[in-house]
Structure 1
Amino acid sequence: MSQDSLDDAYANATYIPGAAEYPPRWTKEARAFRDNLRENDQIIEDFPYGEGAREVFDLMMPETPAMGLAVFVHGGYWLRFDKSVWSHLAAGLLARGWAVAMPSYDLCPSVRIRDITRQITLAVTEAAAHVAGPILLAGHSAGGHLVARMACENVLPTNIANRLKHVMPISPLSDLRPLMQTAMNDDFNMDEAAAMAESPIFKKPLSVPVTVWVGEDERPAFLDQAMWLAEAWECGHVVEQGKHHFDVIDGLTDPDSLLTQMLIGGDIA
Structure 2
Amino acid sequence: MTGKASDEIDLEAEYNNRARVPDHPATMARWRESAEAARAAHPPTPIAYGPGEREVMDLFEPVPDAPVAVFLHGGYWQALDRSWFSWVAPALLHHGVSVAVPSYDLAPTVRLGTILKQVRAAVDLIRARSGRRPVVFGHSAGGHMSACMLSEARASAALAISGVFDLRPLVHTSLNDALKLDANEAAALSPIFWPVPNGSTPGGTVLDCVVGGDESPEFLRQSRMMADHWANNGVETRYEALAGLNHFTVLDPLFDPGSALVRRIVELASPRHPRA
Q: Give your verdict on TM over 0.5.
A: yes
Question: Which residue matches 2:49?
Answer: 49
TM-superposed CA distance for 1:167, in Å, is 0.8
**Further displaced range: 51-60 or 197-206:** 197-206
Matched, 1:211 2:208: yes
Write the mapping of 1:18-97 to structure 2, written as runs, cut at 5 A: 18-38=23-43, 43-45=44-46, 47-62=47-62, 64-97=63-96
Kindly provide the CA deviation profile for residues 184-237 of structure 1, in whole angstroms up to 9, marking residues without a partner as x: 212111111111111011012223211111111111121111112112211211
CA distance in 2: counterparts of 1:249 and 1:205, whole angstroms: 26
Note the residue ranges of structure 1 that are not aligned, 5 or more in a row. Answer: none
Which residue in the other structure is 1:100 paired with?
Answer: 99
Quote the residue 2:21 is aligned against.
16
Identical aligned residues as a percent: 38
Displacement, 1:178? 0.2
Quote how far apart the aligned CAs of 1:133 are: 4.6
Q: Tell me how far apart the structure 2 counterparts of residues 98 and 126 of structure 1 sit (CA, whole Å).
A: 17
* 2: CA distance, partners of 1:141 / 1:201: 15
User: Which whole-Å deviations, capped at 9, do the CAs of 1:49-85 have from their partners, x for residues lacking one?
Assistant: 00111000000011x4443110000000111000000
Task: Give the Cα–Cα distance (whole angstroms) in 2 for the partners of residues 116 and 260 of structure 1.
Answer: 26
Q: Is the 8 A contact 1:3 1:181 kept in 2?
A: no
d(CA) in 2 for partners of 1:67, 1:205:
28
Q: Residues 4 and 184 from structure 1, CA distance in 2 versus in 1: closer, same or farther, beyond 3 angstroms?
A: farther
| Alpha-carbon displacement from aligned partner over 1:129-183 (angstroms, at most 9, x marks no partner) | 2234552110000000011110113xx5xxxx3xx43210110000000000012
SS in 1 for 2:38: helix
Q: Give the unaligned 5+ runs of structure 2.
A: 1-5, 199-204, 232-236, 269-276
Tell me the number of residue pairs that the alignment of Structure 1 and Structure 2 aligns: 252
Matched, 1:182 2:184: no
Deviation of the 1:5 alpha carbon: 2.5
Instruction: Quote the Cα distance in structure 2 between the aligned partners of 1:54 and 1:205.
Output: 30
Distance in 1 between residues matched to 2:128 and 2:48, nearest whole Å: 12
- Paired with 1:121 and 1:228, the residues of 2 have a C-alpha distance of 24
**Deviation above 4 Å: which 4+ runs of structure 1?**
1-4
SS in structure 1 of the partner of residue 30 of structure 2: helix
**Matched residue, 1:199:** 190
- In structure 2, give the amino acid aligned to 1:224: R
Q: Helix, strand or coil: the match of 2:151?
A: coil
CA RMSD of aligned residues (A): 1.9
What is the TM-score normalised by the length of structure 1?
0.88
Q: TM-score, normalised by structure 2?
A: 0.86
Q: 1:95 to 1:133 in 2, by over 3 A?
A: farther
Shift of 1:262: 1.5
**More displaced 10-residue stretch of structure 1: 19-28 or 177-186:** 19-28
Are 2:156 and 1:165 aligned? yes
Out of 228, 231, 236, the position equivalent to 1:231 is 228
C-alpha separation in 2, matches of 1:256 and 1:232: 30
